[in-house]
Chain A
Amino acid sequence: MIKSATAISYELDDASAATRELAASIRDGLVLEADSVGILICDADADGAAISGELKDMLGINIVGMTTLAALNADGHREAAITLTVLTSSDCTFSAAVSAPLTKDGYEREIADAYEKTRSAAPSGDEKPGVIFVFCPYGLPFSGDKYPDAFAKIVPGVPVMGGVASDDYDYERADVFFSGGKYRNAMVLISIRGAVKPAFAIRHVTSRFAERIRRVVKAEGNIVYRVGDETMIEYLEGFGLKTDVDDPLLAFNSYPMMLTRDGGDETPLMRHISGLNHADGSGSFFGDVPTGAMANICLVNKEDVRAACRESMNALLAETGKRNDYTYSTVLCISCCGRAMILGADSGAEGQILSEMLPPGLKLMGAYCLGEICPTRHSEDEAVNRFHNCSITLCIL
């Protein structure tokens, strides 16, 4: 089984002090077993690279991580904080790696190489991982869908869980870390092999819609040109929304687009607008938008966010309730930054709900991200991984 401990520090200005605090807290709560890994989630103001480096030296384990708007621990989401979660096990292995810089044309190969590093580093490398955690940088020249798509080719059927690093909506300081290194254009990952039986849950917020359902007529990757008989911008303006905005991410934060595809067996996908091009009327999204999908704009409010959070935890616990042969220890929650912004002054609400619902003995960790990666379908033999927006995703180990 996997055991874990989480620690928190608010020492953003002193990396060494933060490291000492985090390490001491972990040592107090956890005895490291045969293999371990540390996951560092920190505010962009903290020196994540230095902290991860010092923690590696101090704890003797690999530390991977990313910046976030707010980090999650058992007390809820915390801004201006640094959290460290250490996973340790005697019957699982945790092999971590950082990729080469990811490029538009070579990302598949670069991700495959990174995965290969984790495979070759693992004592039982030929064994299929039970789950892969990925932490991705923000602002790469391809959509978030490329991560799960790449893993579907490299290790088909293996569940992939993770997110895209965030900051305070500067979009300039969203980094990932790997044991002393800070990366703006590479991803870090952990392959977990052995006696691990993860379960997943995902929910978004969909109780209210603007009800101008239109079919996506022309889209390429994550850029949508025409929806119904309108350009993407005209479609948005049809809702009364202002499109001449400085920060499309914030301006459309409460109005993500829901995509449903013909056939009906796919979970609807949420997509956040990342940019608008007034020259050709197109809109770009964090994830791909398939031509032919039906689009509708959601009207998200605080209660939707809370409700989805409760639903996701219930769903996750229902999954774990099916297993009597496995002891769970840790819940990883990757939630969308947009949800935090919708909560506004109540930005701790999701963390509070999760904490309250967390069964005794389980540890909670997580982050707010600019894109979530989580399976929409998962069984022992198969996982269908997807990139999401405006969603809360949970993984339990």
Chain B
Amino acid sequence: MPEESENLKIEYNKLARQFKKLERDYRALSIMHEQTERLRDANEAAKELSNFYNKLLLKNTPSVTFMLDTEMRFVLGSETTLNLLGYADMREMIGISFAALFASAMPETWVAETGARCQHVLETRNSASYEENVTLRNGRNIVFQMTVAPAAEDPDSHSRSVVVVMNDVSELARAREAAERASHAKSEFLSNMSHEIRTPLNAVIGMIAIAAGSDDLEKKDYCLQKIKDASTHLLGIINDILDMSKIEANKLELSFVDFSFEKMIQNVANVINFRVLEKQQEFFTRSDENIPQTLFGDDQRLSQVITNLLSNAVKFTPEKGSICLNALLVGENDGMCTLRIEVVDTGIGISEEQKARLFHSFEQAESGTSRKFGGTGLGLAISKRIVEAMNGEIWVESEPGKGSSFIFTAKIRRGADVSTPALSESNSESLAPTEDDFRGRRILLADDIEINREIVLSLLEDVIPDIDCATNGAEALALYAESPKRYDLILMDLQMPEMDGYEADRRIRALPDEHALRVPIIAMTANVFRDDIEQCLAAGMTDHIGKPLDINELYQKLRDYLPKNV
């Protein structure tokens, strides 16, 4: 019996042990099963999310992007690819050969060449990137930036597929062509400029040589007149270039002042009349009486456009032809007047092709025009930008041989009705410089360039001999500080070594002398844009005069700030 009992105990122990191990296994398997289920669910959710984003990616990829397998069969692609090929559902395309898929949309040669390239990329594992111009079967022309790249799991493994990305760069290509055209035009412009600048310079240098070698005073006078003409022409060219560079830098800003429209037209006519008479042309002006007497706008820019159109008309109209300037009020709304200005000539006229390029920078009707008629080719481009700044339009109506009508509109606000001084009051031409006499007054002239100082001294020696010179701002400051009341006016260059004109001006104004606050300081500088002038005034200067110096303007400034002795 004890042996039997011992055997039973052993059997019991074995069973108990087996039960315990089963319990352990059950416990382990239960928790492992639960974890597996949970992880599988999470993985499924992650896969679904990944699929969702993959679909979004394909739907929103802007380029034609697709993948081909090693047999050149379609695997997947962006929605743009589907659109190109005319499919609604990508599943329709999967497994179809590249050649069959693309044959419907792309030219046969493209399909063959691109297929071969894909195959080559797959074999060599070297990406290819290139640009090509393709005419689709529907006639549409597209410039594609193509990238064909091998797709492998890692850099060392074989390519499993090839990825093709086709970016439509048509706009970019057009912009690049336009930029290349512009660059070409600029190169041509520079070539023209070289000619245009050298021509008057040649006249200046040649005439100086002739004058220097002649004792005949009449001949010298003749040469000086030619030098003056050439210099004025050169200044016009430089002003045009500077204007255009300002416009290209988007720095064209209009100034708004009340001005007399009639007077402005009269001034323009006065300027152009001289040239009209030279070519024995007829010139008429017609101004609509409904145009308000006073307008509020940028009279200088407006007259610049009209003068430019009239100058062109004079230039391109043969002798004894006629030119007419018409100004009309075509509408007014809430005080905003729409003016229509027409310059009509009986000149050589312009072809349709020429019209298209006429208002572009650096382009004239044809590239030979500047050779024949001169000019920078910038005038109309500048005019167009000014007119656009005035919310207007400019265009030309013309036929070759039948004359031209250059027309523009501009929106200008009605001005305050103020009486304007008579033209003669401010017409500097009416007063001869010799009538001025400022003897007893003393000027302080600051300029670092000797010839500039010499020009001023020479121009003014008859009317105001007492001029002290400084070669930089620091010297000017020292001279003035030594004896402030000695000077009645200061002519101040701006760009000078050691101390510039702005700094000298500020320091003079800061001197502890009441005279220093009111002594007229006139900036005399080659910085002639409106913002340059405004900067001078903001710095505390009294006025501004541009270089090259216009003697009439210089005298006018003296009249304004120095009482005459007469």
A residues with a Cβ closer than 8 A to B are 12-14, 45, 79-80, 168-169, 210, 238-242, 245, 247, 250-255, 299, 341-342, 344-345
CB-CB < 8 A to A254: which residues of B? 32, 35-36
- A241-B38, A341-B25, A344-B29 known; 7 new pairs, CB 8 Å cut-off, are A238-B42, A239-B42, A240-B42, A250-B31, A251-B32, A254-B35, A299-B39
Is there an interface contact between A241 and B35, defined as CB atoms closer than 8 Å?
yes
In whole angstroms, what is the CA distance A13 to B13 when docked?
Answer: 8
B182-221 CB contact bits vs A (8 Å, 1 = yes)? 0000000000000000000000000000000000000000
Nearest CB of A to B509, in Å? 62
Is there an interface contact between B39 and A12, defined as CB atoms closer than 8 Å?
no
Known A168-B24, A250-B27, A341-B32; judge A45-B17 contact (CB<8 A): yes
In whole angstroms, what is the CA distance A169 to B28 when docked?
Answer: 9
Is there an interface contact between A80 and B17, defined as CB atoms closer than 8 Å?
yes
In whole angstroms, what is the CA distance A341 to B26 when docked?
Answer: 10
B34 at the interface (CB under 8 A from A): yes
CB-CB < 8 A to A245: which residues of B? 31
In whole angstroms, what is the CA distance A6 to B237 when docked?
Answer: 110
Is there an interface contact between B21 and A80, defined as CB atoms closer than 8 Å?
yes
B10 at the interface (CB under 8 A from A): yes
Most buried by A among B10, B21, B45: B21
CB-CB < 8 A to A14: which residues of B? 10
CB-CB < 8 A to A169: which residues of B? 24, 27-28
In whole angstroms, what is the CA distance A255 to B40 when docked?
Answer: 12
Enumerate the 10 nearest inter-chain pairs by beta-carbon distance, A residue then B residue, closest first: A240-B42, A240-B38, A250-B28, A251-B31, A341-B28, A240-B39, A250-B31, A168-B24, A13-B13, A254-B32
CB-CB < 8 A to B34: which residues of A? 242
Most buried by A among B28, B36, B40, B45: B28
CB-CB < 8 A to A252: which residues of B? 35
In whole angstroms, what is the CA distance A73 to B507 when docked?
Answer: 105
CB-CB < 8 A to B25: which residues of A? 341, 344-345
B41 at the interface (CB under 8 A from A): yes
Known A239-B42, A240-B42; judge A253-B32 contact (CB<8 A): yes
Nearest CB of A to B10, in Å? 6
CB-CB < 8 A to B27: which residues of A? 169, 247, 250
Is there an interface contact between A12 and B13, defined as CB atoms closer than 8 Å?
yes
Q: Can you identify 11 A-B contacts, CB atoms within 8 angstroms? A: A12-B13, A13-B13, A80-B17, A168-B21, A239-B39, A239-B43, A240-B41, A240-B42, A241-B39, A247-B27, A250-B32
B20 at the interface (CB under 8 A from A): yes
Nearest CB of A to B132, in Å? 39
In whole angstroms, what is the CA distance A247 to B34 when docked?
Answer: 13
In whole angstroms, what is the CA distance A9 to B387 when docked?
Answer: 110
CB-CB < 8 A to B38: which residues of A? 240-242
**Nearest-neighbor residue (CB-CB) of A254 within chain B:** B32
CB-CB < 8 A to B24: which residues of A? 168-169
Most buried by A among B14, B20, B39: B39
CB-CB < 8 A to A240: which residues of B? 38-43, 45
CB-CB < 8 A to A342: which residues of B? 32
